[in-house]
Amino acid sequence: MDISRRQFFKLAGLLGALALTPKEGQAYPGKFATLIDITKCDGCEDEPIPRCVRACREENKDRFPEPIKPIPPYWPRKTYEDWSDKRELITRLTPYNWLFIQKVEIDGQTLYIPRRCMHCDSPPCVKGCPFGALTKQPEGNTVIDHNICFGGAKCRDVCPWQIPQRQAGVGLYLKLLPKLAGGGVMYKCDLCDRRIKRGEEPACVVACRERLGENAVYKFGPREEIYKEASERVKNEGLFIYGDVQNGGTATLYLSKIPFEKIDVKLREMKAVFQMPVVVKNRYLEEINPWGKVILGAGILGVATGIVSGLITRNKKDEEV
């Protein structure tokens, strides 16, 4: 597997920019937001797959990973993350399932909570990725470039909700350092980036409305309108809100009749992988030294430049023979 000149210059440019330019300037709220009203969600229990989950899988199936096997472990790990034999799993987030419905029993009530990327206003995943593979889009969503992701999982480490999921046996690391770096590619909801850039709504939003009409769980629209509606409903209906202040604010708001403190306590009791902490600090800003990233970025740039230059030189020699 050889890397082209175009791929090299793209990678080198991104890593160079990473080493020299702070990411804070890219943090902005964005145009859109999603309101998820869990007072209306029944988990589509009368259907084999929740509508939103099915729509998400159908929309993104062309981007699901196809790993090359056998998958070798990479130093210093002796294991790797492979979800390719569990593609039909819909009860959690995986590289093949970017949205799932979390079922929680509280005070005799059953809650169904759609879980996916929160699309933070100041995303620590974007700022913490040492490879520059994540970007914050003008629309407000966060996107992973699968072509340059090394699967280092730093994005998952700094995500308060542990959203990105890794699949080994795919990605750029196979071309550069298959035994020493990376570990695959990270996958998560990108808010149907292709659709919203065409002026369309995310697939999950459309699918839910087709089933429930005006009582749809999801509502997608201009950020100011979504925030205003959520605030008014909290005031007028005595609901609780989540996502407006967590991690500095997000493009995903939840409404519930039950306090989110109680929801998270229950999730912790369940030992759920994906929880809903109410007090969420931005780990990158508070715990990780930004200068460490600059140094790491510069180091990666040097290593990547040397390795990829060698590959290009080898390719050129092969062409001349």
Residue 200 belongs to domain with CATH number = 3.30.70.20
Cα diameter, the chain: 76
Range of the domain at 84: 5-320
Hey, what amino acid is at 88? E
Is the pTM value of this prediction over 0.75? yes
Element (H, E) at 240: strand 240-242
How many folded domains does the chain comprise? 1
Cα(40)–Cα(108) distance, integer angstroms: 16
Cα(217)–Cα(211) distance, integer angstroms: 10
Mean pLDDT per segment of 10 residues, for the chain of length 321 residues? 50 48 47 97 96 98 95 81 97 98 96 98 92 94 96 93 96 84 90 97 98 97 97 98 95 98 97 96 61 45 48 45 41
- Model pLDDT, residue 287: 60
